[in-house]
Amino acid sequence: MALRNADELAFMRQAGRIAALTLEALKPHLQPGVTTAGLNALAEETLRSYGATPTFLGYQGFPSAVCISRNHEVVHGLPRPDVTLRSGDIVSIDVGATYQGWVADTAWTYAIGSLDATAQHLIDVTHDALFVAIAAAKAGSHLGDISAALQSYVESHGLTVLRELTGHGIGRELHEPPTILNYGRAGTGPILRPGMTLAIEPMVNTGPGWRTRLDADGWTVCTQDGSLSAHFEHTLLVTTGAAEILTSL
């Protein structure tokens, strides 16, 4: 697991800021009637306007700039011109920004119009689970401490953590070691060290199942049981104190 030096971190901070600015640019457009392909086009334009490239475009052949996943879709949602947002939807947008060869990755789940109580609870718990996990990402702690904190927070709120996809190290590449499970045991795994850069990303279902299936489009990962799913992600730097979130404004 690579440790970043000051010069590298300057690029990663900028990549992170651009990814965050891109989500911010999309927010006013998250309205009923908007197509997911339209949001994707705006995201790509925003990333490029800041001198970044969309990390996901072409990654393993992915044909769009960002991933947009609605309702029972977990992640890797393929934007489409014939899919429009509707009131009551939850929609997660996952943005990767590559700036000067350095990558940042962030995701947020948004409400379209007003949500029912189940969807709102899912969003709230998944959001808070991300920050519980970030608080566990301290130098000297074990990687498993992050996983355990996340899982126990989610399950104590009656929701299900997804097991088939994970967080990851990040830097030169979108996905670097270590793999960060969203479930696990405290006190296990490698020790966290200052200078590590990690993408922590709880994916949480209303459940009861945590298994997924791949949509017919070949990209979009859906819950197998059709339950709702939310996704929040930040790229962060492990320090001697609280982790620094790189994908915030």
The contact set with Mg ion (CB under 5 A) reads 105, 199, 201
Minimal distance, residue 209 CB to Mg ion, in Å = 22
Q: Which is nearer to Mg ion, 18 or 34 (CB)?
A: 18
Min dist. Cβ of residue 170 to Mg ion (A): 7
Cβ 47 to Mg ion shortest distance, Å: 16
Q: Shortest distance, CB of residue 182 to Mg ion, whole angstroms?
A: 12
Q: Which residues pair with 95 in a beta bridge?
A: 106
Q: Smaller CB distance to Mg ion: residue 105 or 145? A: 105
Contact 67, 109 (CB under 8 A): no
**Nearest to Mg ion of 145, 201 (CB atom):** 201
CA distance 142 to 99: 30
Of residues 73 and 105, the one with the C-beta less far from Mg ion: 105
CB 27, min distance to Mg ion, A: 20
Alpha helices in the chain (DSSP H): 6-26, 36-49, 117-135, 143-156
Q: How far is the CB of 91 from Mg ion (least distance, A)?
A: 17
The residues, ordered by sequence, that sit 6+ positions from 229 with a Cβ below 8 Å of its Cβ are 69, 71, 72, 73, 74, 92, 122, 162, 203, 204, 205, 206, 222, 223
Q: How far apart are CA 99 and CA 108, in angstroms?
A: 20
Tell me the C-alpha distance between 123 and 197, whole Å.
25
Comparing CB distances to Mg ion, the nearer of 13 and 76 is 76
Q: Which is nearer to Mg ion, 65 or 199 (CB)?
A: 199
Q: Strand 167-169 and strand 102-111: pairing?
A: unpaired
